[in-house]
Structure 1
């Protein structure tokens, strides 16, 4: 790949691979045809404090399996907004045990029951009320996690075929909180991920609901944060 990594003990910006001044265009070009496992090996070798974000949506278990095979103890950030289906909560318990995840759960400062009592149910999409709802139940806990953990790399499972916004991203992109987002499965198709789940005999989550998206093709908001 043509990138000789500096030691992870070197802290100066010039010695680090992952920072907002990094040549991400060259990285994306070099790794465009790489396997997800190769991207993971490079990332874990060069990241100083990587974290994972997951919502345990359908097929997310493939990404979690891939990442934890490369770095078993990586912190896994999950925002429990309180609106998950019972099937999703049971799936999470199963996957945490199966993959021995280093799960870091962050919850909104206002519970789902509290929000419902004060503000009513989930607001209609594309309204100021829904923007407030999304900030309350997902963005604030996520930002709190990033501030507490101070990662240099944010690993996520996004793919180019999920929606129009993600199609224009890449494997290595600038993320919020000074991070570099790394998406090792970015160039895979949905069928590729389904095959990964099948070949590794992984449990999947088929009954999933994200109250901040409403529709499958919508962006949840985390990738739009600056």
Structure 2
């Protein structure tokens, strides 16, 4: 660890006895870890986080992130919002991954089921409409916010990478998230090929039939990273 980061952490810890908080020096953290391996980022995070949680949607390649982040802390809570519109294969894949990695899974579902929503409002509405905004709030944002309010994490671990879309390219390993959290993305500097090799080398099960109704298109954000 560099002298600069040691000074930063000492100052931070003497002030609040925590590393991850609303006044954390994320610029220094990102500078220190810009060339670090994901496992090194995870080691540091678990050593200093007081109540970390993982958020996942079990999308393709997400199993690599789940494997990585559960290695240093097997019982870390894994938040999954089951919006009810997943493909059958995605549900089967989730069962395989939960069993393979022995995940401490916390499932949060919308207060309105997929069948209820469809019966009242009809099919998934078109993107970029007020109706779709309401849909996203009902099936993903509300249950996610409920999870964060109940679990009260200081660190929110996620699997985003710089090469996924324009918004994520401008983020970093350590960023401020909603609900007073610090978001940590240990795989941020990896490429899609890096992640594919991680899965192949460890013979992990992957998901090849996935659909996120709140995004519709791969390059879009679903809204969780845009919340303040």
TM-score class, shorter-chain normalisation, is: over 0.9
Q: What does 1:24-173 align with in structure 2 at a 5 Å threshold?
A: 24-173=26-175
Show CA shifts across 1:72-117 (max 9, x none). 0000000000000000000000000000000000000000000000
Show CA shifts across 1:114-164 (max 9, x none). 000000000000000000000000000000000000000000000000000
Show CA shifts across 1:5-64 (max 9, x none). 68xxx8x85221101101000100000000000000000000000000000000000000
CA distance in 2, matches of 1:14, 1:68: 27
CA distance in 2, matches of 1:108, 1:164: 29
Contact 1:13 1:19 in 2 (8 A): no
Residue 186 of structure 2: which of 184, 187, 193 is its match? 184
Show CA shifts across 1:155-189 (max 9, x none). 00000000000000000000000000000000000
Match of 1:201 in 2: 203
Greater per-residue helix proportion: 2
TM-aligned CA distance change 1:115 to 1:41, over 3 Å: same
Secondary structure in 2 matching 1:70: coil
CA distance in 1, matches of 2:46, 2:155: 9
Secondary structure in 1 matching 2:71: helix
Q: What does 1:1-12 align with in structure 2 at a 5 Å threshold?
A: 1-2=1-2, 3-4=5-6
CA distance in 1, matches of 2:184, 2:35: 15
CA distance in 2, matches of 1:175, 1:20: 9
Counterpart check, 1:15 vs 2:17: yes
TM-aligned CA distance change 1:13 to 1:137, over 3 Å: farther
Misfit runs of 4+, over 2 Å = 1-6
CA distance in 1, matches of 2:48, 2:120: 46
Structure 2 unaligned segments of length 5 or more: list them.
none
TM-aligned CA distance change 1:148 to 1:13, over 3 Å: farther
CA distance in 1, matches of 2:17, 2:195: 34
